[in-house]
Amino acid sequence: MDRPQRRIGRWFAVAAVALLCGAAAVRSILPDGRAARIERIADCHGPAALPPTQTFGDGREAMRLRVLLWNVEGLPWPVRSGRGPKLAAIADWIAARRKAGLGPDILILHKAFIPAASRIPVAAGFDTIVPGPALDAKRRLPATDPPPGYAESAHWWKGEGLGKWLDGGLYVATDLPVVATRDEAFGRSSCAGYDCLSNKGAERVALQLPGAPELLYIFNTHRNSREPARVGIERAETAHALQTQENDAFLADLPRATAMIAAGDFNNYRSGDRTGRFASDPAFRLAGKGADFAARPAAMTDAAAWREAYDLLGYRSGTALRVEPLSVATLFDGKNGPRLSDHDAQYIVFRISWRGDARPMPAVSPPCPNRK
């Protein structure tokens, strides 16, 4: 090796050592990505904690479910600082509503990366708390193949190729009986920019509504961001589309006609939202805003629905369960309550109904002893 080549080799070695030292230094100040994770599945239920069932004049049975969707911005220092008081305020508000019997019946969280965020459903007293992919979870299903050269052009200085430092930050919490849960991380190369530092993916929870003839599924995901990823828009959108395909693979074993409430990266009409299972299903709708606080069914291509709310919930009726949004309210947006996160809270009331003569599913969760 001649002298210029030796000099270049030394610079590469120095750069590699500096990168490793920098990564070790940053990792040392980030919280333990495992410490925030909370998981508990109740093996019984308190009947008084469940929403009541109503009987309509036409004989249909129905239950109203209050669903709170909130990206709580539970990011660690040095990415964010001073989040403790606002996360505590979020937890206190939800706990106070539940103590007053005002719900929510289902809590869906995004970016609950730190203990102050993952403790929110604990403070609210939910019987079941289901997290998404853990820090060390690997994708079990085949990952979607990225475009040629995509993985090879990873930007380590933008967080790509440095491993996972945080878990998926996803939670679903409820008192309703839970039949099954499942989660799946995105593929190793199916991300872009700083989003790659968290083990994003999806989770689903199968709920049994007492007296109902079929299950209601809750789907929760957090796909790749756009500008916050700090890479080119094209690269961020490519990751979003890859993750949409992986979400579809995660849901592939569920028939299309499955009753579902879906929460995810529905804060922009992104490249992935134009394709995939939800976009191609004419029965899938967004819970858009109507007059006052009324909800209106909106198609995935409804531009007004995307403009009216920063976060959205989607839904689909099943073979035996009809899912209808009744009301939508944006909270803690600076108008209806102070801002406690960079995302507003979305509070949606759904009505789930079924034929009164339909045979209910066998109960999988007995009533808890000594609880009404």
Span 279-294, pLDDT tens digits: 899 999 999 998 889 9
Can you spell out the DSSP letters for 53-100? EEE-TTS-EEEEEEEEEEEEEEPPTTTS-S-HHHHHHHHHHHHHHHHT
Nearest-5° Cα angle at 302, 194 to 248: 50
- Nearest by Cα to 66 from 311, 368, 327: 327
Task: List the beta bridge partners of residue 171.
Answer: 109, 131
CB atoms within 10 A of CB 227: 10
Average pLDDT over residues 203-226: 94
pLDDT tens figures, 159-174: 888 889 899 999 999 9
Rounded distance between C-alpha atoms, residue 278 and residue 250, angstroms: 13
Average pLDDT over residues 102-120: 95
> Which residue reads 């249909």 in tokens?
60
Question: For the whole prediction, is pTM greater than 0.85?
Answer: yes
Rounded distance between C-alpha atoms, residue 236 and residue 284, angstroms: 25
Averaged pLDDT score across all residues of the chain: 88
Average pLDDT over residues 190-202: 92
Average pLDDT over residues 156-160: 84
Average pLDDT over residues 295-316: 88
> What's the confidence (pLDDT) of residue 160?
84
pLDDT tens figures, 21-77: 555 555 545 556 677 889 999 988 888 888 999 999 899 999 999 999 999 998 887
| 277: confidence class by pLDDT, cuts 50, 70, 90 | very high
Rounded distance between C-alpha atoms, residue 102 and residue 96, angstroms: 9
Rounded distance between C-alpha atoms, residue 35 and residue 21, angstroms: 23
Assigned token pair, 64: 């109203």
